[in-house]
Structure formats: C-alpha cells, structure tokens
Structure 1
Amino acid sequence: MSERDIIIGIDAGTSVIKAVAFTLTGTQLGASAVPNRYTTAPDGAATQDMDRTWADCAEALRGLGDSIDHLADRTAALAVTAQGDGTWLVGADNRPVDDAWLWLDARAARTTQALAQAPGNAARFHATGTALNTCQQGAQMAHMDRHCPALLDRAEVALHCKDWLYLNLTGVRATDPSEASFTFGDFRTRQYSDTAIEALGLRHRAQLLPQIVDGSRDTHPLSEAAARVTGLRAGTPVSLGYVDMVMTALGAGVHTGTPGAACSTIGSTGVHMRAVRDDAVQLQGDSGYVICLPAERMVTQVQTNMAATLNLDWALRMAADLMSETGHPHEYANLVAHIDGWMERSQPGTLLYQPYVSEAGERGPMVNPNARAGFIGLAAHHRFPDMIRAVIEGLGMAARDCYGAMGTLPSELRLTGGAARSTALRAILAASVEAPVRVSAREEAGAAGCAMMAAVAIGAYPDMEACVAEWVTPLLGQAEAPDPELSRIYGSLYPAYAQAREALEPVWDRLAEHRAASGPTAAAADQPEIAPGAELERAAQGGS
C-alpha cells in the first residue's frame, strides 16, 4: 500500500462541487469539479435535489481518483464543507423528505420579519450573535412549521448541505459548531441554546436538531456504501468541516494573527469577516453573523451581501439577451473578457449602484428581504461601460458598508473568490475600504480550509495555528496599495451610498406590498436550473 500522504477537501458551493487533493503540508495536487444545479419558482423558492447533490459529490471524488494515481490508498482523511444556511430535511432510512430549501430561497421572508419583531428576538440575537434573515435554517423551519408543517412532520433530522453529504459519507447525522451556533445556539458555548430555539417557536421541533461534531477533533469512518460509489477506501477518516464561508476565509488568511487584517470572499455572494476571540465580540446593531472558527476561543464577525458577482451576472445577461434579440446571439459568459475594456472607457464615481439583486433581498449590513438593486444618478450621457463600472463599484461600496458596521475599516484586506482575480475589482475594493489587498496563491481556499481541519484531527498538526502557519501564511501575495485618487473619490461617494440605502428602505417595502398584491407575473416564470456566478467566476480565474 502507498503511503497515506493525501487529504481530500470537498467544497460543495452554490455554483460547483469540488473535490481537491492536498499533501499533508498543504500543496495542492489536483482537483475535480462538477457543476451544481438548483431550481427557482415564482413564489421565491430555490430548491436543490438532494440525491443528485450527493451523486454529484461522488462523481467529483471519482473524477479526482481518475487524475491522481492510487488516490484511495494514499488518502489519509477527507473533509467536507458546503454552502451555508438552507434546510435539508431527512426522514426515515436517511432519505430526503423533499428537495432542499437553499439559502437563496425567499419564501420565509414574511415569517422572518414577524420573528424579528417578536419580543424574544433580542435575546436570540445576543445568544447567537447573528441577525435573523430569510436564508437561515431557523427562519425556514419556523416558516415550514407555520405554513407547511407536513414537511417537518415527515422529517427525522434537519441538516445543512455539508451535513447531508457527511451523512452519505459516514452514515452519521450531525452538524458542526459553526452552523449550529449561529442558527440555534450560542457562539460562546458552541452548543444549542434554549433561548434561540424558543425565540423561533421551535421548541416542539427540537428533536430535529442533530448532534454537534467538531471535525477538527473528531472524525467518523467512510462507510462501505460510500466507498463503493466514491472509489475511496472504507474506514478512511472523514471530518465534518465548518460552513463554507469560514472555511474559505480560513484557507485565505482570516486567522494568521495579523492585527487589523480581514478577509472578503467575492463570489456569488460577498462575505466580509474578521477573526476575534469570542470574549472580544461586540454586538452592534441588528445585523451580521458571529461564526465559530475551528480554533480555540476564536470566532469570526461577519457581514455578508446576498449578491456580489450575481450583480455582474445579471448585467451581462441583460446585454447578451439584448444582442441576441437583434439577431446576434451571445452567451453572457463571453462578455466577461470585455469588462476591463469597459472599465478603461468609464470614469469612476459617476453613478451609484445598490447591489441588492438577490430575490431574497439583503442581509448585510441591514437585514431587509425587500431590498432591491438599482442605479442612482443615470443621465443621458451614460453608456453601458458606465453602468458596468457602477455595478463593480457597488460591490466595493457594499464591502465598505459591511466593514463599517463591524467597527473600524481593516488595515489589510485578504481577498478570495474567483472575481478577486480581476485587477480592476481588486483596485476598487482596496480604494473602497482604504486598505491594501492581498490575494492568496491558494487556488481552492474552501476545500483547503476543511482539509486543514482534517489535518489537525488526524494529528498532522498539534493545533490550527500550526497548520495555518504552513498552509496559509506563506501563500499570501504581495500587498497592493489603494490608489490615493480612487480612495478620495470613493470616500466622497460612500456617504451618498449609505444615505441612499437608508432612504430607499420604505420604497422597497412599498414595492414588496405591490408585488404581493399583484401576484406572480410572466416575468417571474419558472426558471431553469442554474448555477449562479459559475461562468463569471470561471472566466475571472482564467483572466486578469
């Protein structure tokens, strides 16, 4: 038998499921990817076939085995992370109750608003450190309990995406401390909280909550059934990773001990976070997350935008659709290569764009399921390049908005996500938050983050800090300083951005009332299965 010198990280994101092989010291050896798919509907539903998700995960692992000799014999451990939030209900014989509700699902919006206004919500927020929003499992289960209780009646356990994959890999029903604590628990104890459960009105559903397993300490063996479909060896240790946003940040440099450093992931969503001790958390306002890190007493304070590159996807799809209507068919992904040229032909700061294009609204730094995207300041002289620049600048304004809600702006910003490969986007983010940016040479930060947990769990490193020192810190690139003129422009522009966001909230609410009264329209017809941001991020990875 070959030496067991490989750790596999599985990252089941919204766009794609990846299986990535690393050496025990963090060198990436190979990767295999399978596109992820989900379906939307006029009522705000965003659902995913659970069986197909597991089949796609197994296919990705088999693909990795095809590219790396003797992978099964060489694998010391594997770990899994995945898209966060959402509700993956499992019933008898570990079978899905129905398609999973994803984090993009907007059906729980009104239930979420009612819960957020209830007397117990302040205590729930203090326990979890996390504002209630539509994408969370707690809000979705509360909505199900009120409007479709049969789903919960048929369920035996409520899981998240990574938990569902872990169940198929090991036969163990479990979740991790990060999603358990920000959904139903207390980040200080990393356990479930009666206060949080009761505030959601789910005490009578508490039996659906699975055991909490910390994958940096405990593993379970790969089952015989999983071994048959993945090509790996039964008995291989499997680590249940934390939620993907903190795994990606861990792999990209959020926890290196550098004072003032922060980490943003610019993918389908925008995730902005900084690492602090759990006793140093200062809860401000009523938005954001506190999410545990797989390190002693360490958590991340997080503000997240529901949509980041989804905004660019929308703009490019609009352009492609218009060109196709004139008899010149275009695929929107083919327009990505034109972005840098459009940026060169436009002036910074001439338009404002609020990047709230998600059907589920926004969750950072304010929580409003009715928030919607829009341009402010359009004039007859503006052209498409100006609008594209405004969309990208909107991502920078949103990042500044989120870090401002956490306190001071970062002294250094680590970037990850496919779009972070864009020179133009990095420059705009650096100028927006007035801090140098660094991009890790790590290709697959999310898979690396959960693989690091497995490396600690099997004893390859004594603790996470030792693993970070070898897997993460050496891969951080040179700091790219913000352009002083751009920083001046965006510093002047940001107050108008924030003022517009606050002023538009009653407008968004009125529009939501209008939509509810009007009912579904032809424009909201059933959508095809899609993988948001996939084409844009792939193109960005191969571009500048």
Structure 2
Amino acid sequence: MPLLLGIDNGLTVTKAVIFDEKGNVLSLARRRVPQSMPHPRHVERDMRELWKQTAAAIAEAISTCPVAATEIVAVAATAHGDGLYLLDAAHCPLGPGILSLDSRAADVADQWEQDGTARIALEKTGQTPHASAPSALLAWIRKNEPQRFEQIAHVLACKDWLRFCLTGKIATDLTEASTSFTNVATQHYDDEILPIFDLEELAGTLPPVLAPASIAGHVTADAAAATGLPEGTPVAAGLHDVTASSLGSGGYGTDRVAIVAGTYSINETVSLRPRTDKRWFCRNGLTRGEWNNMSISPASAANYDWFLDTYCQHEKRAAEDAGRSLHVDIIPEIQKAMESPSTAIFHPFLFGSPMGPHASGALFGLRGWQDRGQTLRAVIEGIAFNHRIHVDALRDGFAPQKAVLTGGISRSSLFSQLFADALGIPIEVSATDEAAAWGAALCAGEAVGLFARCTDDPRNLADLTTTYTPDPHQSEALAQRYRVFMELAEALQPIWPRIDALEGTA
C-alpha cells in the first residue's frame, strides 16, 4: 500500500500526517513550536527547534501508523507563507525564523506606499509589499541589523527550511517564490525586482525555483535517523500553505473562491492570466500559466478564539474537565442570539486588518441588556464581514460562482450558513481532515507518479461536500449590518492612528 506523508507547519503547531493513496488519514501527530516576541511587533521562533519538533511529529506519526514506514513513497511539506528564514554560507540559521504575524517592517511598508515603491512593486511583482513580506523584512534587517544582513547567503520560506532539513538541498517552489521577487507576467525571477527594494546585494541568495510537484531531493541519513523515514525517500518541493489548503479542500479552481477562516482571513481564486490590484496578491499558481489571486488579512477566526480564551476561561476549563468541547455550550448561545435583532457590531481587527496597519478591534452598539451570546454573534458576523471585503474584491476582478470554506469555523453548520448568507454565495464545506497536509501530499503523489497531476484528487469530493445556499431574507438583513460595519470603518480611518499613538504614552 503506497503511503504519502504531508507536513503542515502553521504559526504555532507543526503536524505530520500519513495518508493512504485514497486520501484517508492513517496517522497524525502534532507538536507545538514556541513563539518568541522579544520586542513589540516581533514574532519569531527558533529554526532548529522548529525542525526538532517537526522531526518528532514525523517520528510519532510513523510509530502510530498501522502500515510500515517503508511504504511511504514520497514526502512534501507546506507551511505558513511570507515571513523569513535565513541561512548563512555554512547553511546555518541566521537568527530566528520570522513569522508572518511579525509587523516590525510596517514602517518600511508605509514608507514604500508613500514614496511610490509600492506602486512599482505592484506593477512588476503583482502585489503591494506588506509588513511581513520578505522584501519589507529584508529591508528592515538591512537598516537595523546590518551585520546579519551581510551574512545572508540563502533566503528561504518556512517549508523550504524544513525541506532543507530533510534533504540538505536548497530550493523553493513556484508558489513560494512569488511572495516578493518574481515577475508577475513571466513568473520567473527578474533582475529588475531586487533594486526596487534597494536589495540588489542579495542577488544570488534567492533559491532555485521548482514546480511544487517535482522531486527536490531525498531524505538524508541524518534526517532518517531523526524521523524514522527511510533514507532516500523522495521529497517533493511542496507549496505555500494557502495554496495547499485550497488544493486539499477541493477549492483550487477558476470558478470558485477558496476561503480559509483561521488565524488569517484567506480568500483566493485561480486565473489563467495575471490581473493586478492593490486588494489582492497575484501570485504563481501550481504551474506556470496559472495565477493564484489571494486577498488576505490577519482578521479571521483568531478573534473568536481570543474571545473564548479571554472571557470564557472558567467555562472552557469546566467543559474540558467534563470531556467535551466548549463549542457545544457556546454555539447554542450564538444561535439564540441570531433569532432576534441586535445593535452589536464587531470589527475583528485584533491582529491586523485590510483597512491598514492602524486599524484596531472594537465592539459597537452595545446595550446593557445584551448578553454574551449577542457579543459572540457580533464577533462571528464581524469575521464573516471581513471575509466579504476580500471576496467582494475578488468578485470585482474575477467570476467565481461558489466558495469552498475550510478552517475550524467550517465545522459548525450554523457558522457555515452564516458565511453563505453574509457573502451571498453558495458555500461548500468539504469533510476533509487536514486539508493543507493533504494538498502537500497530493504534490508528493504527483512527484512519484501516483497521480497524473496533483489536482487529480482520488477522493469522491461530492460525497464529502455539504452545500449551504444563501437565504435571501437573511442575506438582506446581513447586508444592512455589513453596510454599518463598513461605514464605521470609514469613519474611524482618521481616528485609528490617534488611537495607535496612545501606545506610546505613559
């Protein structure tokens, strides 16, 4: 029985998932990878610890798999995009890895917006630089850590570091290469791009670009000893986790928007020609001639998790002690709150926003007679409204007919229906376990000929899919609330920087 190993590294957890050739999960292991925040806006983690924990997860998945590791025919990794993982000339980590939640380079991105660099970058690379973009982070390091900057020999993304640890080979893939430095028209590196950011000294540090489903190397003896994988196992190039999630959930295509409601609000659709706009990143798709148009902000389900962690700690502990999920108790509260009108509106901008770097989270319209359910309803609606900002942008540029929703929120039929009503588009939810890891595994399968193409999912997706159709009455009611949501955001544009400035007061 041929098996595939998909590695999925998020912002806090690294996972190893072993699938059979039909997409069934045979074993799964997780390890937490600690973050460090040594300064405001800095979000980092130790690169060697990341590999140690990933190797431990692989070893556990192999030890608990009912089929021998010798049946694993290929491996591929996916991981958070953007951020920065640097190596020196000796292939050693050059400081900690920088996560995509890091915003130390926000002032760099702001300056580029003001001086015209962002406009030039959009035209050439298909995207406006942002705080966690490799270009902005490298510019920040050049200015603030010149000694570190001078030692840079290899500029990698997170999954590229993990693949290097498995194979000893330096490379990236087509989807990851386009985070800052490829020409949007040619989909190749371009000698004119590094100078846009005053980073021409880094010519030669960008890794070779491979197709996601090509073999990038083979498991080394050291990696085999650390993980239990057989030495010589083929390792595919892998792909950016946004693309991996859409591929693994059945959301990768020109007729649909793939939505991931997780830490980030991720919304993406595929096109067969490049089209650029400030509201989305036009990045490389799975193959040349395909573009993945991603409209993203760090403003999704993490807001819901924050509320539960901050204000429902007692209930959470009680539910855990009773062996059940807190959501069993909370979701009926939200459902009851949805049965009557509410003035509560929530901006889910606790960790970032599509409204700019100064936007912050807030609750509006609160009344003394409203309960926790009304507040949580506002939080969930606010998350859906933030996704609508992005989905509306993609509908302006493309022609998606439906959306495929993944992420923890999609496990609730109440929340899935709310997304359909708020977005005014049919929502499909696939009963896919570990969509991103499966997306990576599909690439590994193509790399060794198990699948003709990674988009040839062997599962019967129709049997796995539940469709939520918008209710016209609810859609109109939510559209009215969305208009107020957006009017509040517009009114706060000049005030958010003043609120932000209070952080510097005693």
TM range (shorter): over 0.9
1:357 aligns with 2:350: yes
CA distance in 1, matches of 2:60, 2:122: 43
User: AA paired with 1:24?
Assistant: E
Shift of 1:69: 4.0
Please say if residues 251 and 472 of structure 1, whose CA atoms lie closer than 8 Å, have aligned partners that are also in contact.
no
1:185-220, CA deviations, whole angstroms, 9 ceiling, x for partnerless residues? 123322223333222221112333222122313331
Please say if residues 406 and 429 of structure 2, whose CA atoms lie closer than 8 Å, have aligned partners that are also in contact.
yes
Structure 1 residues 488 and 71, CA gap change in structure 2 (3 angstroms): same
In structure 2, the partner of 1:312 is 304
Give 5+ residue unaligned stretches, structure 1.
Answer: 520-544
1:93-104 correspondence to structure 2 within 5 Å:
93-104=90-101
User: 283, 291, 294: which one pairs with 2:286?
Assistant: 294
Q: What is the SS of the residue equivalent to 1:103?
A: coil
Shift of 1:42: 4.5
Q: What is the SS of the residue equivalent to 2:203?
A: helix
CA distance in 2, matches of 1:76, 1:487: 47
CA distance in 2, matches of 1:174, 1:256: 26
In structure 1, the partner of 2:266 is 271
1:176-325 correspondence to structure 2 within 5 Å:
176-256=173-253, 259=255, 261-277=256-272, 279=273, 281-284=274-277, 286-320=278-312
In structure 1, the partner of 2:439 is 449
CA distance in 1, matches of 2:174, 2:385: 31
What is the number of residues matched between the two proteins? Answer: 500
User: AA paired with 2:237?
Assistant: L
Please tell me the root mean square deviation across aligned C-alpha atoms, in Å: 2.4
Please say if residues 138 and 183 of structure 1, whose CA atoms lie closer than 8 Å, have aligned partners that are also in contact.
yes
User: 23, 26, 45: which one pairs with 1:26?
Assistant: 23
CA distance in 1, matches of 2:260, 2:178: 22
1:361-400 correspondence to structure 2 within 5 Å:
361-362=352-353, 364=354, 366=355, 368-400=356-388
1:3-82 correspondence to structure 2 within 5 Å:
5-82=2-79
CA distance in 2, matches of 1:197, 1:475: 47
1:427-470, CA deviations, whole angstroms, 9 ceiling, x for partnerless residues? 111101112211112101101111111111212223334x13x2
Shift of 1:133: 0.9
Please say if residues 442 and 475 of structure 1, whose CA atoms lie closer than 8 Å, have aligned partners that are also in contact.
no
User: AA paired with 1:392?
Assistant: I
Shift of 1:299: 1.9
Q: What is the SS of the residue equivalent to 1:455?
A: helix
Structure 1 residues 45 and 184, CA gap change in structure 2 (3 angstroms): same
In structure 2, the partner of 1:425 is 415
Shift of 1:349: 5.1
Please say if residues 349 and 493 of structure 1, whose CA atoms lie closer than 8 Å, have aligned partners that are also in contact.
no
Structure 1 residues 113 and 244, CA gap change in structure 2 (3 angstroms): same
CA distance in 2, matches of 1:205, 1:20: 36
Q: TM-score, normalised by structure 2?
A: 0.93
CA distance in 2, matches of 1:348, 1:274: 34
The range that moved more, 289-298 or 241-250, is 289-298
Relative CO higher for 1 or 2, CA cutoff 8 Å, sep ≥ 6? 1
Give aligned-pair identity as a percent.
Answer: 27
Q: TM-score, normalised by structure 1?
A: 0.86
1:258-299, CA deviations, whole angstroms, 9 ceiling, x for partnerless residues? x3x21101112121111111x2x3323x23212322145222
In structure 2, the partner of 1:342 is 333
Shift of 1:311: 0.4
Q: What is the SS of the residue equivalent to 1:254?
A: coil
